[in-house]
Amino acid sequence: EKIRYTINYGEDALEPSERRVPLAFFQRKCKVVYKPMGVIGAIIPWVNRNNNLVAHTQNYPVHNSISPTISALFTGNAIVVKASEYSCYSREYVQRLLRSVLAKYNPEFANLVHILPGFGETGAALCKCKDVAKILFIGSPATGRRVMASCVENLTPCILELGGKDAFIVMDDAEMDWAIQIAVRAAFINLGQNCISAERFFVHKSVMEK
């Protein structure tokens, strides 16, 4: 779906667009032009540990590898994806798939995608690399802070998609049978290994017992 959407609407989104200028600069024109940045780094592990035990494994490793890769390639960039150390098999499969598609268009394009498994040290090295133009991180707020701090050293722009305490709110006029089904699904979909699974439930006191 993302590939189809990007093909249909991506070029329109990247079209240069005019901007108004202040009256004092009436003799000038201003526009926004989008250009490739170079190498994009994406860090996509989602592994939560509790007393050194893995509580959650990789959160959609295939989707989280391919999604930023589509955007990076479409906008003329290369990408290095740091995948979870627990997703080595899917990493190799996805990289081979993407490279085979790119090679059909141009054999040289196959090297535009690199998917590397690794622990935190691998992600830290990616954040501190001066040749990386932008970082995308998906994970916990604690690790997100470390990613941002590392990016500051080279003034590398970063996008942080951080897990939180996703709220599920049940109002007093909710259709209760439906709400309960959705609540259970929201908490336990994909065995709970979902970055947007419901983690906190706020229920109106008048329907709390039900």
Q: Which of 161, 175, 199, 209 is labelled catalytic?
A: 161
Q: Which residue has the tokens 């908490």?
A: 187
| Per-residue exposure over 138-151, b if at least 16 CB sit within 10 Å of its own CB, e if not | bbbeebbebbeebb
Burial of 24 from C-beta contacts in 10 A (0-12 / 13-18 / 19+)? exposed
Distance CA 98, CA 104 (A): 10
Residue 1 known to be catalytic: no
Q: Which of 127, 151, 158, 195 is labelled catalytic?
A: 195
Return the CA Rg of the chain: 21
Residue 161 known to be catalytic: yes
Q: Which residues are designated catalytic?
A: 161, 195
